[in-house]
A and B are shown apart, each in its own frame.
Chain A
């Protein structure tokens, strides 16, 4: 059963890996050795830095490891939950085989623990040489024990969350209606943003800094107990360290008990039973008809939008283009350093200040488009049996991706304008270039997604194969690079006394590159989609 559950957790880890436990162990050992060498190199580097407070640094590294692993395991489990297909989970044979709640919780958390164990090996490998060279081996032994307990705590924590989500979904579904759909989107956006905050370097270092400096209030927060056990061990405070070890074990035990109790009460996520009003479901001529969109195009677009906003495993993809610009904006908001202002620069030059946001928008468009064909899954026959051309389907997916990503683009343009005091002209220019970035990345994404679709609807659908994801990401970055290159060259030329007009010409060249990629991507998508539609083997 552990093996069965492990192979279900395959979205971040290839199936070939999860189905071979020995391979995970081998990778873990390799990563341990590599990290160990990294730790040796780091220690040698730190030695040559004068007046460095090594003990504080060791406290931050050692103390950070348990805290990081609680978050890491919990986040991996959380992301798995967000991506999981509720339908698939409800129909999972595990639900009706004679398995007790405690057996399930034990096997599931152990499978999470083992699947991501190479991550743990990196942390332990890296800290071992530091422990040896700074004479902190006793504290290291406490760290090893607590890192495992912390990761188990994260794994069991996710089991509690799963049952809680099943319970919440039942209530949500009973309430029904469109508000539930909106609430679900907002909730997933918040979860993803908070998850990213969890991994934010600024926040983690501030928290550890507070712990090291003895902020007593944090002692009452259970998630910090493993970290406190390690930092107290480093301070040779055996009693306090022992107390926090016991508290950490109690936290793990308590969460395990709670997970079993909740599993017993709320075993599985029920199928969605949201009732929407029948009125208005039969649609009249769309207002979009004035924009030249046919009844057919509007129907396809509406279908895409409903799929994106109502399927749990797809919502996380549509929020990506919306939250990526926010995440990229974190350093700007969190760094106290003064920000550049575009008020005094020519419009074309100041518009470039917003370019980092376009990276998030472009990558969001790429991911959304790459997964758009695979999302059809076993419902693909619906499109295959209808009189729909491949070009029509590609255009609908392109339109949908552009529409969703444009919301992120507009948000990015507003934030850039406020942060860098951009003029209206610069903001409009940023929007135009941003839209071309979206078109290029979306077309490229569909071309890749239709060549490497993953139609499997396992507990955690991936929608695009691992090979496709890698090729798509590389090509996506190359496209962005090609678009950025003329601007970089123009800025370099301008800084050496060249005309500022070069920048305007370069932005036009970037736009031309983007449009060319969009056209080629679109053309390259038609063939594979035609092939998919004419040989639907599902």
Chain B
């Protein structure tokens, strides 16, 4: 792949669930080493876009390329290059964390030495050392999230697709993950990162894409988004609420209290 070619390229992507349109004519491009934030209200199509990029969903129309590979046609190659954390990771609850990571490493083809070292390092970094022998079924949501993040990173992926990866993480682990994304970005790893925490998006993302009803509403750096919304100097929350057309929050609260 030429250096100028984007790491992720989505062109006129459309995804239907029966008669419901989840993604409608979505086009975007993410460069190598870029951290792209995906923002949008619940049901805006963020997770569908991630799943399509990792090959878990077939596009209804349009196409998506990852490192120049068509996600539909070359799905095996794409899956080798991508690390994915779903919105609600359902792990194998009958395995221990160590067994789960061992399984992922084996499927990814990591050798014994490498997988042992990496698993140990990740368990230590995310405070799961000593708990790796417990069945995942006894883990809290945050601990499961940590295991999912480790599994996504084990094989040195070139692309990271992280669907609300900081959900349930304690502040220290959240910080570790954010720093890790920064470092990986410097090494050329591209990340697509969806979140509802706008401060996090602003802090770690190079560019932000706002989705609503399966359509891209706006795209750019946080500064560019402020300008588009006509709210220079405002917080990203105000920008987001204005761009997504959310009616006055105070009215909603009053309606709920009535």
On A, residues with C-beta under 8 Å from B are 87, 271-279, 281-285, 295-296, 298-300, 302-303, 306-307, 310-311, 377-379, 381-382, 384-389, 534-538
Q: Does B125 contact A (CB under 8 A)?
A: no
| Residues from 64 to 93 in B contacting A, C-beta threshold 8 Å | 72, 75-77, 79-80, 82, 84, 86, 90-93
Whether the Cβ atoms of B79 and A303 lie closer than 8 Å is no
Inter-chain CA distance A378–B54, complex, in Å, is 17
Q: Taking the nearest CB of chain A, how far is it from the CB of B149, in angstroms?
A: 13
* Interface-central residue, A295, A377, A382, A537, by most chain B CB under 10 Å: A382
Q: Which 5 A-B residue pairs are closest in the complex by CB-CB distance?
A: A299-B106, A281-B98, A273-B138, A278-B133, A310-B94
Q: Which of B55, B112, B135 contacts A273 (CB 8 A)?
A: B135
Closest to B55 in A: A534
Inter-chain CA distance A299–B137, complex, in Å, is 20
Inter-chain CA distance A284–B90, complex, in Å, is 26
For the A-B complex with A300-B107, A385-B84 known, give 18 more contacts whose Cβ atoms are closer than 8 Å.
Answer: A271-B137, A271-B138, A272-B137, A273-B135, A274-B134, A275-B134, A276-B134, A276-B135, A281-B96, A281-B102, A282-B112, A295-B109, A296-B107, A307-B92, A382-B90, A384-B56, A386-B107, A387-B79
Inter-chain CA distance A278–B95, complex, in Å, is 11
Whether the Cβ atoms of A389 and B76 lie closer than 8 Å is yes
- A285-B94 contact, Cβ under 8 Å, with A298-B106, A385-B54, A535-B57: no
| Residues from 120 to 170 in B contacting A, C-beta threshold 8 Å | 130, 132-135, 137-138
Closest to B151 in A: A382
Whether the Cβ atoms of A275 and B90 lie closer than 8 Å is no
Q: Which of B84, B86, B102, B109 contacts A282 (CB 8 A)?
A: B102
Residues of chain A contacted by B84 (CB below 8 angstroms) = 385
Whether the Cβ atoms of A281 and B94 lie closer than 8 Å is no
Closest to B81 in A: A387
Q: Does B19 contact A (CB under 8 A)?
A: no
Residues of chain B contacted by A277 (CB below 8 angstroms) = 133
| Residues from 39 to 60 in B contacting A, C-beta threshold 8 Å | 51, 54-58
Inter-chain CA distance A385–B90, complex, in Å, is 12
Q: Does B108 contact A (CB under 8 A)?
A: yes
Q: Does B116 contact A (CB under 8 A)?
A: yes
Whether the Cβ atoms of B56 and A536 lie closer than 8 Å is yes
- A387-B76 contact, Cβ under 8 Å, with A272-B137, A282-B98, A284-B112: yes
Inter-chain CA distance A476–B256, complex, in Å, is 58
Whether the Cβ atoms of B115 and A273 lie closer than 8 Å is no
Residues of chain A contacted by B75 (CB below 8 angstroms) = 534
Closest to B112 in A: A284
Q: Does B119 contact A (CB under 8 A)?
A: yes
Q: Taking the nearest CB of chain B, how far is it from the CB of A326, in angstroms?
A: 26
Whether the Cβ atoms of B93 and A536 lie closer than 8 Å is no
Whether the Cβ atoms of B51 and A536 lie closer than 8 Å is yes
Residues of chain B contacted by A278 (CB below 8 angstroms) = 96, 98, 130, 132-133
Whether the Cβ atoms of A274 and B135 lie closer than 8 Å is yes
Whether the Cβ atoms of A299 and B107 lie closer than 8 Å is yes
Inter-chain CA distance A318–B228, complex, in Å, is 60
Inter-chain CA distance A302–B106, complex, in Å, is 11
Residues of chain B contacted by A387 (CB below 8 angstroms) = 76-77, 79-80, 107-108
- A386-B104 contact, Cβ under 8 Å, with A272-B93, A278-B133: yes
Q: Taking the nearest CB of chain A, how far is it from the CB of B159, in angstroms?
A: 12
Q: Taking the nearest CB of chain B, how far is it from the CB of A178, in angstroms?
A: 11
Whether the Cβ atoms of B57 and A536 lie closer than 8 Å is yes
Closest to A177 in B: B133
Whether the Cβ atoms of B106 and A295 lie closer than 8 Å is yes
Inter-chain CA distance A302–B130, complex, in Å, is 23
Whether the Cβ atoms of B138 and A299 lie closer than 8 Å is no
Whether the Cβ atoms of B94 and A306 lie closer than 8 Å is yes
Q: Which of B17, B72, B86, B132 contacts A537 (CB 8 A)?
A: B17
Closest to A378 in B: B90
* Interface-central residue, B75, B76, B99, B104, by most chain A CB under 10 Å: B99
Whether the Cβ atoms of A381 and B98 lie closer than 8 Å is no
A-B contact pairs, 15 of them (CB 8 A): A273-B135, A278-B98, A278-B132, A279-B133, A282-B102, A299-B107, A310-B95, A379-B91, A381-B86, A382-B90, A385-B55, A385-B82, A387-B79, A534-B57, A537-B57
Residues of chain A contacted by B51 (CB below 8 angstroms) = 536
Residues of chain A contacted by B112 (CB below 8 angstroms) = 282-285
Residues of chain A contacted by B56 (CB below 8 angstroms) = 381, 384-385, 534-536
Residues of chain A contacted by B130 (CB below 8 angstroms) = 278
- A379-B115 contact, Cβ under 8 Å, with A275-B134, A281-B98, A534-B55: no
Q: Which of A271, A274, A382, A384 contacts B92 (CB 8 A)?
A: A382
Q: Which of A87, A273, A381 contacts B134 (CB 8 A)?
A: A273
Residues of chain B contacted by A538 (CB below 8 angstroms) = 90
Inter-chain CA distance A295–B104, complex, in Å, is 11
Residues of chain A contacted by B107 (CB below 8 angstroms) = 296, 299-300, 386-388
Q: Taking the nearest CB of chain A, how far is it from the CB of B137, in angstroms?
A: 5
Residues of chain B contacted by A274 (CB below 8 angstroms) = 134-135, 138
Q: Which of A275, A303, A382, A389 contacts B133 (CB 8 A)?
A: A275
Inter-chain CA distance A363–B106, complex, in Å, is 33
Whether the Cβ atoms of A306 and B95 lie closer than 8 Å is yes
Inter-chain CA distance A271–B135, complex, in Å, is 10
Whether the Cβ atoms of B94 and A307 lie closer than 8 Å is yes
Residues of chain B contacted by A302 (CB below 8 angstroms) = 103
Residues of chain A contacted by B76 (CB below 8 angstroms) = 387, 389
Residues of chain A contacted by B135 (CB below 8 angstroms) = 272-276, 310
Residues of chain A contacted by B116 (CB below 8 angstroms) = 282
* Interface-central residue, B54, B77, B82, B92, by most chain A CB under 10 Å: B92
Q: Taking the nearest CB of chain A, how far is it from the CB of B48, in angstroms?
A: 10
Q: Taking the nearest CB of chain B, how far is it from the CB of A90, in angstroms?
A: 9
Closest to A386 in B: B107
Q: Taking the nearest CB of chain A, how far is it from the CB of B147, in angstroms?
A: 11
Whether the Cβ atoms of B137 and A87 lie closer than 8 Å is yes
Closest to A534 in B: B58
* Interface-central residue, B95, B115, B137, by most chain A CB under 10 Å: B137
Inter-chain CA distance A281–B97, complex, in Å, is 9
Inter-chain CA distance A531–B137, complex, in Å, is 29
Residues of chain B contacted by A298 (CB below 8 angstroms) = 106
Closest to A377 in B: B90
Closest to B148 in A: A382
Residues of chain A contacted by B132 (CB below 8 angstroms) = 278, 281
Q: Taking the nearest CB of chain B, how far is it from the CB of A481, in angstroms?
A: 37
Q: Taking the nearest CB of chain B, how far is it from the CB of A295, in angstroms?
A: 5
Whether the Cβ atoms of B58 and A306 lie closer than 8 Å is no
Inter-chain CA distance A504–B108, complex, in Å, is 47
Q: Taking the nearest CB of chain B, how far is it from the CB of A383, in angstroms?
A: 9
Q: Taking the nearest CB of chain B, how far is it from the CB of A302, in angstroms?
A: 7
- A382-B137 contact, Cβ under 8 Å, with A281-B96, A282-B112, A306-B99: no
Inter-chain CA distance A87–B102, complex, in Å, is 23
Residues of chain B contacted by A296 (CB below 8 angstroms) = 106-107, 109
Inter-chain CA distance A281–B84, complex, in Å, is 23
Inter-chain CA distance A298–B107, complex, in Å, is 9
* Interface-central residue, B80, B96, B116, by most chain A CB under 10 Å: B96
